[in-house]
Amino acid sequence: MPPETIGGRYEVQREIGRGGMGAVYLCHDRLLGREVAAKQLGGLPGESTPHLARALREARTSAALSHPNVVSIYDAVEEGRHVWLVMEYLPSRTLSQLTREEGPLTPARAAHVGAQIADGLAAAHDRGTVHRDVKPGNVLVGDGDLAKISDFGIARSVDDETLTQTGMVTGTPMYFSPQLARGLTATPADDVWALGATLYSAVEGEAPWPSQENSLALLVHIAEHAAPEPRQAGPLAPVIRRMMATDPEDRPSMTEVAHELRDLARAAQADAERTAVLPVPPPAPAVPEPATPTRPVAAALALPVRPVEPPPPGPDTGDDGASADRSRRWLLPLLGVVAAVLVVVAAAFVAGDLFGGDDGDPAADESDATSAAQRRSEDTPGSTAATNGSTPESTPESDPPPTTESSTDELASTSPEQFVTDYYALLPDDTRGAWALLSDEMQDEVGSYGSYQGFWRTVEAVTVDDTSVDSTDTVTVDLTYTTASGTESETRLITVQDTGDGPQIVGDQVAAS
């Protein structure tokens, strides 16, 4: 359960998002009388005090950045074992949600959104800060297409010491530059590459790389392949190509990117205004309906059939039999072609009647498959700036290989307490089975199966010491982790709900101490 007040100042009103890092709450700031969003930092099981200290330091560094296209961070509150990030509350959608709900953006609209994000990132670069996790899930789009970049949670100054987490990949691999994929230190050029990949996904409707079995395979693919060519970017394509150049020296600065994108957006707006004043041509005359009803035929098979006409008469040879024979030799093959076309049309139509046809968009299945991978790297839908900032990317990231249904079938009829106990019984050995018990939103927040698997590889054993459940099916579970460095205990709050595919874990956070 959330506290009633955070830091003695922020009154918790309601939950506005939930993910692997815990919940995000809409709060009322008693001191300044405004609405804010509070996000609990740290989320993967077993995170220790040094992790929270790093999150607090990075949050305070990011709070120093003030720009109209950057989500403002107001405060970082340390309470017990928790760090709360207090930030600007902005009703919005992530760019990944926007494209998922409305389809790919036009090049002009993508340039308008991208120019704003480039402005915010250029300001960060001027201060010596690299974002390191630019992706569609961290681009917020509000009313009037006002865009802001969120989640500087893993940003750091260029001269900061490197801080890593064993077994984890910091950032979203799908939008890594080739240099980051090889493990090199992040620079502003890597943010430029990631923004180019983000704009690619906005206009193409899909991430730049195919989903891989795990994060490591994806990193190898990025490091060894040139960026894909955008196909629907129009005038935006040359800018995206330069931003995603393999050599960082060939990429423009973020300030140059902002100028180029702004010029493109303005030119497109001017073209749209000129087009709007052009006279509209009168509608074409309606085609009269046929007198006899006809059965509809698929457009691809509706081939026109012309009446067969005899060939023009040749010179009069006086040999009527030979002339007729020549006509028949010319006519019969043509009739055979026409008959074959009609048979194909009729067969296709009958097959549609017999098997019910396919009313869906052929691209929809591919889109659904891609979005399932993307949801493992995006924010929870309907969230605000705070929500969006708390989640790793809604884009096709690493999914676990297919697993059998035996694990989920065995857990389908258990109580929430037993479900949680059985979930931890799968770990750390059967990460595939355990991953399948997380809801889509939970998988979105963890980011990828590769990251999830990477964490559990650092754990030798996990023991459930005690469980209890409340009326909301939230299970309080006491755990002991065994690692190479010893044992560590913690209490977590696990929320179990029936998502339609059976019971799944929809919430997971560290219990307040």
Positions annotated as catalytic residues are 133
The CA distance from 152 to 124, in Å, is 10
Helices (H) and strands (E) in the chain, counts: 16, 15
CA pair distance 271, 274, nearest whole angstrom: 5
Q: Name the DSSP class of 438.
A: B
User: Residue 129 forms beta bridges with which residues?
Assistant: 157
The DSSP element (H or E) to which 333 belongs, if any, is helix 320-355
| Helix, strand, coil shares, percent, the chain, to 5 | 40, 20, 40
Q: Are strands 22-29 and 10-19 parallel, antiparallel or unpaired?
A: antiparallel
Q: State the CB neighbour count (10 A cutoff) for residue 37.
A: 27
User: Residue 426: CB partners within 8 Å, gap ≥ 6?
Assistant: 407, 433, 434, 437
First to last CA, the chain: 12
Cα gap 216→123, rounded to integer Å: 32
Query: Residue 139 is inside which H or E element, if any?
Result: strand 139-141
Q: How far apart are CA 197 and CA 178, in angstroms?
A: 12
How many whole angstroms separate alpha carbon 251 and alpha carbon 212? 26
Contacts of residue 317, defined as CB under 8 A and 6 or more positions apart, other chains included, come to 323
Is the torsion defined by CA of 315, 317, 320, 324 positive or negative? negative
Q: How are beta strands 73-79 and 34-41 bridged, if at all?
A: unpaired
Whose tokens are 């960026």? That residue is: 227
- DSSP single-letter state for residue 278: S
Angle at 268 between CA 264 and CA 270, to 5 degrees: 120
Residue 177 CB coordination number (10 Å):
27
Helix (H, G, I), strand (E, B) or coil at 483: strand
Per the structure block, which two tokens stand in for 123? 């300001």
The packing angle between helices 254-276 and 107-126, to 10°, is 150
The answer to whether 39 is a known ligand-binding residue is yes
Q: Specify whether the CB–CB gap between 505 and 438 falls below 8 A.
A: yes
Q: Which residues carry a binding-site annotation for ATP?
A: 39
